[in-house]
Amino acid sequence: MRLFRTIAGVRTQLKPAWKTDQNLALVPTMGALHSGHLSLIEQAVTANDVVVVSIFVNPLQFEPSSDLEQYPRQLEQDCQLCEEVGVDIVFAPTVEELYPHTPSAQGTQTQEEMTRVIPPPAMTSQMCGHSRPGHFEGVATVVTKLLNIIQPTRAYFGQKDAQQLAIVRRLVADLNFPVEICACPIVREASGLAYSSRNQYLSSDEKKQAQGLYQGLQRAKQAFQEENIRTAEKLLLYLQENISGLQLDYTALVDPDTLQPLTSVNKKALLALAAYVGKTRLIDNMILRDRAPIIAIDGPAGAGKSTVTRQVAYQLGLLHLDTGAMYRGLTWLVLNSEIALDDEAGIAELVSQADLQLVLSSDPEIPVKVSVNGKDVTKAIRSSLVTRNVSVISAQKAVRDKLLEQQRQWGEKGGLVAEGRDLGTHVFPNAELKIFLTASVGERARRRQKELVTQGQENIDFEQLQQEIQQRDTYDSARAIAPLRKAPDAIELVTDGLTIEEVIAKIIHLYRDRFPIADSG
């Protein structure tokens, strides 16, 4: 791992990664790393080739007379932690390096000499913005600078700062940054208290009091899930009643994307609060949503994912999100256009405007219905021409981006099972059940041999089959686009010696363990 204090240094180090199109992750932090940060970093390390952690206590996002001076700084310890979890680069610039045009006051908000980024006031003026004027402009400015300096493929933010996350997402969309914003779940201590660098300020009594934040959220969530309480008025009351004793700053029920207040929960809502525990201001939140569970099945080629996925969907009455059919749909579109298969820009232009519609099913006998730009292509996408070309088309970034967005839209509704290579790490990081389905190289070679024999092939070289499978695994794990990765929270299922039925039964058992009363999710 290398530490850089200058923009010139870090950018020079990143040149090879940019040139070779590697998956480059940025995890922006203000240091004093705790388990919450480490979970962001671990997710970034799992899913990317190069990981940069930035450590910068950003004066622009602290109000005058706040805890800027007191904010914990522990660069050496942070670097050590980063090294341990596999970070490649720590970028820890000084204030002078990042804000050269605010020399006199070291970047505090009184300085007006520099360019600022102003997110939509409707998103910044309420919730935390109310008591922290200027805070989100400071965050937006530093995040913009960091994205420009590092030029990551993905940037990781915690769901704990839900308002910040929504504002960063909007910033990236409005300013067309070519980066994917990855949100990571809140990490909590055993008591339920969300990890925060500011927890260091709490005395042990205050820490006990602070647990009330989570308890209040939990109680409101329980009222939503078990008693079907949906109005903001009642949910906020549950929250407030359960955190009596703390000095509340605000409680809010808002749309998680736009941050606009909701009067009741429809599909998804953000329940958020801030409160003072002694002098320390803490925030916490929970997403309330109706969506049914998702099962994400990843694993290497030849582990039996397709059959297992179809059967699991069928037996649990969940929809089978056939991502392969989606790629086939866009491949059909390209093949039926005038555009050459290697004209990536032309294909990007074509697919970004395409209207791909799916009608999913649970029944393995009823394949997904696919239409492209209003034309039913359910049969056409199974042609050998499409089969021959689907891998070339699905390796193109614009194609994957288009489908990622659509897959996540299906994910918003939930109630599905899907299989792939990076579903648990990337497409559905919040999936309720993640399975990494695998088998030893020898076992997969034996299965393939059996298949080939059934197809009438003789004289199969078993050693060579094993080698091919090994090579394919190495390639799939190293490829830039959708590399094969096991999510840290995935359950690994090694299928050596198990029949397909046994594998399916195991997954259904795992699902039933988590959702004992769910019938169709």
Q: How far apart are CA 218 and CA 285, in angstroms?
A: 10
Of 59 and 483, nearer to ligand PAF (C-beta) is 59
Of 168 and 427, nearer to ligand PAF (C-beta) is 168
Reduced to 3 states (helix: H, G, I; strand: E, B; else coil), residue 505 is helix
> Using CB under 6 A, which residues numbered 38 to 77 contact ligand PAF?
58, 61
b/e 432-453 (16+ beta carbons within 10 angstroms → b): bbbbbbbbebebbbbbbbeeee
CB of 53 to ligand PAF, least distance (A): 10
Give the residue, chosen from 90, 127, 128, 139, that forms a contact with ligand PAF under the rule CB under 6 A. 139
For residue 11, count CB atoms less than 10 angstroms from its CB and return exposed for 0-12, middle for 13-18, buried for 19 or more: middle
Of 7 and 335, nearer to ligand PAF (C-beta) is 7
Record the tokens describing residue 221, joined without a space. Answer: 């969530």
CB of 8 to ligand PAF, least distance (A): 21
Q: How far apart are CA 229 and CA 79, in angstroms?
A: 46
Of 155 and 386, nearer to ligand PAF (C-beta) is 155
Of 26 and 318, nearer to ligand PAF (C-beta) is 26
- Cα–Cα distances (Å) from 201 to 66, 205, 206, 209, in that order, read 13, 11, 9, 13
- Cα–Cα distances (Å) from 143 to 63, 139, 337, in that order, read 17, 6, 40
Cα atoms found within 13 Å of the Cα of residue 400, Cβ hemisphere only: 17
Cα atoms found within 13 Å of the Cα of residue 338, Cβ hemisphere only: 0
Q: How far apart are CA 220 and CA 233, in angstroms?
A: 11
Q: How far apart are CA 349 and CA 261, in angstroms?
A: 36
Of 28 and 302, nearer to ligand PAF (C-beta) is 28
CB of 275 to ligand PAF, least distance (A): 19
Tokens 């046994």 belong to 502
Of 184 and 313, nearer to ligand PAF (C-beta) is 184
Strand order in 154-158's β-sheet?
2-4, 89-91, 50-55, 24-29, 154-158, 180-184
Strand order in 433-438's β-sheet?
319-321, 414-420, 292-298, 433-438, 491-494
Of 135-143, 233-241, 325-333, 491-499, the segment contacting ligand PAF by CB under 6 A is 135-143
Of 30 and 439, nearer to ligand PAF (C-beta) is 30
* 78 sits near ligand PAF (criterion: CB under 6 A): no
> What are the helix (H) ranges across 194-299?
204-227, 232-242
Sign of CA dihedral 388, 394, 397, 398: positive
> Using CB under 6 A, which residues numbered 410 to 469 contact ligand PAF?
none
Cα 459 from chain centre: 46
Check if 37 is active-site.
Answer: yes
Residues in the interface with ligand PAF (CB under 6 A) total 10
* 323 sits near ligand PAF (criterion: CB under 6 A): no
Cα 320 from chain centre: 21
Give the residue, chosen from 51, 79, 89, 142, that forms a contact with ligand PAF under the rule CB under 6 A. 142
> Using CB under 6 A, which residues numbered 11 to 30 contact ligand PAF?
28-30
Q: Per-residue contact track with ligand PAF, 156 to 185, x per CB under 6 A?
A: -----x--x---------------------
Query: DSSP secondary-structure letter at 50?
Result: E
CB of 448 to ligand PAF, least distance (A): 47
Name residue 369's beta-bridge partners: 359
CB of 43 to ligand PAF, least distance (A): 15
What angle do the packed helices 7-19 and 135-150 form, to 10 degrees? 60
CB of 146 to ligand PAF, least distance (A): 8
Q: How far apart are CA 287 and CA 283, in angstroms?
A: 14
CB of 210 to ligand PAF, least distance (A): 19
CB of 18 to ligand PAF, least distance (A): 22
- Residues 6 or more apart in contact with residue 349 via CB below 8 angstroms: none
Among candidate residues 37, 135, 320, 426, the one labeled active-site is: 37
CB of 118 to ligand PAF, least distance (A): 16
Which residues are tagged catalytic? 37
Which positions touch ligand PAF (CB under 6 A)?
A: 28-30, 58, 61, 139, 142-143, 161, 164
